[in-house]
Structure formats: C-alpha cells, structure tokens
Amino acid sequence: MVIKRARRGNSPITVDSLRQNAILNALGASSVAVVLEHGVLLPIALRQEIYDAEQPINDVYFPIDCVLSVVARMIDGSQIEIGTIGREGMSAFPLLMGASSTANVCYCQVRGSALRIPADVFRELAASDPAFRQLLDRYLQAYVNMLGQLAACNRLHSINERCSRWLLMTRDRVDSDEIPLTQEFLAMMLGTGRSGVAIAAATLQKAGFIKYAHGIIKILDRPGLEQAACECYEVARRQFAGLLRASAVIGTTNQEMS
C-alpha cells in the first residue's frame, strides 16, 4: 500500500471551524488565539500519511469530517487497524503521553478535512490551558477504553457485526450516509480478507441496510444496520458521547466569557 505524505497547506482556521472538532471546541479564548495564529485547515486525502512509525511527530491533526486510522504494520508488510480518530479527537496520543514518536502508523481512511497545528504549539497549549488538558485526558481514557472493546470485538464477533459497527462509527464521524471505501481498505480495517468483506457487504446490501457500488458505501437503513451491529458500537458511542457533551458545555462557557 502506498502512503501519501501529508501536504503543507496555507488555508486559515476560523473560529467556526474550531467548533467542529470536540477537542478544539473546548479551547479558552487565549488558546483559540494561538491556534488561529499557528494552525491551518487542510484537505486530507485517502491514505495520506499523518505520521510514520518510529519517526518524529511534527504536527497534530484535529479531524473535521475526515477519519484517521492508526495501524500496526508487521514485518511481512501486513497491516491491521488498531484505532480510529474522528472529529471527537486528535492524532497526538504519543505527544500527550510525553513521547515524540510511536511504533504505529497513522493515515487517512476516509477523506475530508482537518485542522493542523505544530507539535510544539500543541504541547504548550496542553501545559498552559487546564480545561483543555483535562478534556485531552478524558479523550485519551475514552480512546483506551475503545481499544479494549474493539480488541474483544475482533475476537468474539462476526464479520457482519464488525462491518456494521465500523460503518456506523464512521458515519457518525463524517456525518454523511455515503462513505468512499474500497473492499481492500475495509478488509484491512476489519483485519480480514477481501472475500470476507465482500460476503459481509453483500449480506448487508441484500438486507437493504446499505448499497455498495464503485467504491462507495451508502447507508440506506441506519436502524437496520444498528440491529445488525454488535454491542460494541453502542459501547463506543457512549464512551465519546460524554466527551462531546463536555466539550459542548465548555465551549459554550468559553464563548460566554469571550
């Protein structure tokens, strides 16, 4: 798989764009000014690299309507997704825990846009803005909880259930019923072969839950897809729902104070 390098952009960030990411929505007025000065709004392409394994992490990405994938890569070149990041969070887990690199790879799994700030600016914000740091810690805890749940999911639940769960989680992050996705990429996300993904997609399509054609999955029946998904979707949604509610409260408070 060819991973594209992240492009440098020069589109300015607006306050409205900050509000579209749960983490950035919690910034206080002084931190907002820092992000507006140092950040850029970027289009993120499919398979665009965010950071590589064992390489310095120079920037932090806050998805708006793209979805990032954290992937473990084996010696033989095989890969499997171990985590996803949407508009509820950011890409800087290693930096948040005091590291400057990680053993995993991160790149875009669903194209869209994201806000990017330099890693040193992120560190300064996390150190100087207590409310921001508190929300980052809450997000990290929710993310770790989700990793454990998904590890169990990949071991215990069927490919149909896992495919439904993945589609629902992705739909929530991009806020669209249409998801551009190839069978090859979905197979890697679910840790299975393309034949297994093809069977799962055909089963869900036959049930009328989705339509899959020309690399686009369209969700037709969300309630039906929720019934087809395993319990892990609801567990993951609850983990991040609290975070999103907290960011909305903090963001409202910050706006009233500014």
Taking alpha carbons only, the member of 135, 121, 117 closest to residue 27 is 135
Residues 6+ apart with CB under 8 A from 239: 142, 145, 146, 149
Q: Is the pTM of this model over 0.85?
A: no
- Structural domains of the chain, with CATH: 15-152 (2.60.120.10), 158-229 (1.10.10.10)
Residue 219: CA count within 13 A, CB half-sphere: 23
Backbone angles phi and psi of 22, in degrees to 5: -60, -35
Instruction: Give the pLDDT confidence score for residue 27 in this predicted structure.
Output: 85
Instruction: Give the pLDDT confidence score for residue 250 in this predicted structure.
Output: 38
- Which regions of the chain are under pLDDT 50? 1-9, 246-258
Instruction: Give the pLDDT confidence score for residue 35 in this predicted structure.
Output: 92
Instruction: Give the pLDDT confidence score for residue 248 in this predicted structure.
Output: 44
Instruction: Give the pLDDT confidence score for residue 243 in this predicted structure.
Output: 58
Backbone angles phi and psi of 51, in degrees to 5: -155, 155
Do the beta carbons of residue 227 and residue 168 sit within 8 Å?
no
Taking alpha carbons only, the member of 51, 55, 63, 45 closest to residue 116 is 63
Task: Give the tokens for residue 110.
Answer: 């669903």
Residues 6+ apart with CB under 8 A from 154: 162, 190, 191
Number of helices (H) and strands (E) in the chain: give both, helices first: 10, 10
Taking alpha carbons only, the member of 54, 66, 235, 241 closest to residue 147 is 235
